[in-house]
Every structure is written in structure tokens, then in C-alpha cells.
Amino acid sequence: MNAPSAVRLDRLIGRQVLTANNQPVGRLEEFRAEVRGGSCLITDYVIGASGLFERLHIGIKLLIGRRSGGYLAHWDQLDVSDPDHPRLTCRIDELRQL
């Protein structure tokens, strides 16, 4: 699998992320990126409610006093070659829980 060189993020946001065996993980809600050499590179994907709250800049712990759930996938742990159907390239237990 080759990582695409360019992806329209608006096509990915809100898409359900699936495991290799088609089990839902959560919706892709946020991206983390760095600027390197004049290009913006995705470093992480935030999957689940934590990502939604992060995107909306809401401190969930301040609002409800607990974790909101979700996962952090590094750029190489998510296959976005088909933006309508993003899929994990690893097991769920390899993701960082938020």
C-alpha cells in the first residue's frame, strides 16, 4: 500500500474508520499536521469523540470531567487511499487511546 501524496481532507472528515475485518472504530474527526519544507504533512489522525471535541476546541474534561473516548492513529496506521472508506493498517490495540 502506498500513501497518497495528496488527500482532500474535507472528503475524510466525519468518515467511519474500519478495521481490516470491517469493524467500525469511530469517525475520523481531526487531523494533526506539521509544515515541513513548505508542505503540510499529516502526522496523526484523531478518531472518535475526542477528535470532534479537539476540532471544536472544547476541553471535554472541563465540560464533563472525564475522558471522551477515541484513538490517535499515526499517519501510517490509516489507509486513506480510498477517502470514502478509510481503513486501519494495524490492530486497534496498536492505537493510542485518548
Res 89: pLDDT = 96
CA distances to 2, 40, 50, 82 from 54, rounded to whole Å, are: 28, 19, 6, 24
Name the class of domain 9-97: mainly beta
0.85 surpassed by pTM: no
DSSP character at residue 27: E
The pLDDT value recorded for residue 25 is 93
Kindly report, residue by residue over 11-51, the tens digit of the pLDDT.
999 999 999 899 999 999 888 899 999 888 999 999 987 65
**Dist. CA 31–CA 40, nearest whole Å:** 11
| Boundaries of every domain in the chain | 9-97
pLDDT on residue 39: 87
**Starting from the edge strand earliest in sequence, which strands make up the sheet with 24-36, in order?**
78-79, 87-88, 16-18, 24-36, 39-47, 71-74, 96-97
pLDDT tens by residue, 64-87? 555 557 899 999 999 999 999 999
